[in-house]
Amino acid sequence: MIHWIHKSMRIAFLAALLLAGSSAWAAYTCSVTVSSISVVYSPTVATENISTGTVTVSCTRLMGDPATLNYSVRANNGLQPTGAINRVQLGASTDRYQYELYRQTPYTNPNRWQNNAATQIAGTLNFGAALSATDTRTFDLRLAGSQAVRPAGTYTDTVTATLRDTGTGTILATTTLSVSVITTNSCEIETSPGAMSFAYTSFQAAAAAASTNFSVRCTTGLPYTLALDATSGTLLGLNYSLALSAASATGTGVVQNYSISGTIAASQAGTCGSLGSCSGSQTRTLTITY
């Protein structure tokens, strides 16, 4: 009987050691997503072309794991680099444009986003009492101006980003970033118009005015037109009018800025009740034709 008691105690002791060893291991389950970037580019323009993307890290932990996780995200130089310089490529051809990824400004080599400890994006996830946490950082894609003009088309590259636990160096997740540089005839709304807000009192003596700005980027030399689905309307019994700062232009390969101005004429009654205030809204559509 003494023999069996001794053996049982030994087994329990070994199990306790095994349990203690496993509880010291932090078990994070993570994902990383990097926004893909598509940009209209004109290589004949001297101005650099900048686009901004995001890196989002999301992790879950087990109860008892540390409430903070220091992480890093590294990016390689894509599929067709020349040395450490990234390049987009037109299909299977040898036609390429150079671009770079940056963690921050100014756009100098120490601030590039690359695949080593000195150029990685670094951050900390703070779980607090929760079992999941998310952190988002930004990066810039820079296309230098005045590059040698290549055939028109869509140039592409794929960059691989790797998420690591900074403390242990353990790889937690990987993802890819797709880069598309469009040099065919194309237009894009770089910054969308915002909301236009009017403050109006029935029968007021002066017209009410509001405006919003937006920007467009189109291929160099490409004519295009701007139009609203309607330039007038009625809201809460008040007649309003809208006007674009320009109806047509020619693309320059860089951002071109415009505005929409609106007016509600004076001396209108409206349909709001006799007491208090009321509000309403309508949606208008901006179209670029090229």
The answer to whether residue 7 is domain-embedded is no
User: Of 136, 168, 184, which one is at a domain's C-terminal end?
Assistant: 184
Q: Enter the pTM of the model.
A: 0.69
pLDDT for the residue 49: 95
- The residue-averaged pLDDT of 212-237 equals 94
From CA 216, how far away is CA 219, in angstroms rounded? Answer: 10
- The residue-averaged pLDDT of 190-210 equals 94
CATH code of the domain containing 158: 2.60.40.3590
Does residue 3 register a pLDDT over 70?
no
Element (H, E) at 224: strand 223-228
- The residue-averaged pLDDT of 30-44 equals 94
* Cβ atoms < 10 Å from Cβ of 72: 17
- The residue-averaged pLDDT of 119-136 equals 97
CATH code of the domain containing 204: 2.60.40.1090
Would you place residue 176 in the very low, low, confident or very high pLDDT band (cuts 50, 70, 90)?
very high
Does residue 187 register a pLDDT over 80?
yes
179: which residues sit within 8 A by CB, 6+ positions away? Answer: 36, 37, 38, 78, 86, 88, 99, 141, 156, 157, 158, 159
Residue predicted with more confidence, 275 or 232: 232
* Residue span of the structural domain in which 115 resides: 26-184
pLDDT in tens, 108-122: 999 999 999 999 999
User: Of 135, 157, 184, which one is at a domain's C-terminal end?
Assistant: 184
Please check whether residues 224 and 131 belong to one and the same domain.
Answer: no
Please check whether residues 107 and 78 belong to one and the same domain.
Answer: yes
The answer to whether residue 232 is domain-embedded is yes
The answer to whether residue 17 is domain-embedded is no
Query: How many domains does the chain fold into?
Result: 2
User: Of 153, 184, 215, which one is at a domain's C-terminal end?
Assistant: 184
Would you place residue 8 in the very low, low, confident or very high pLDDT band (cuts 50, 70, 90)?
very low
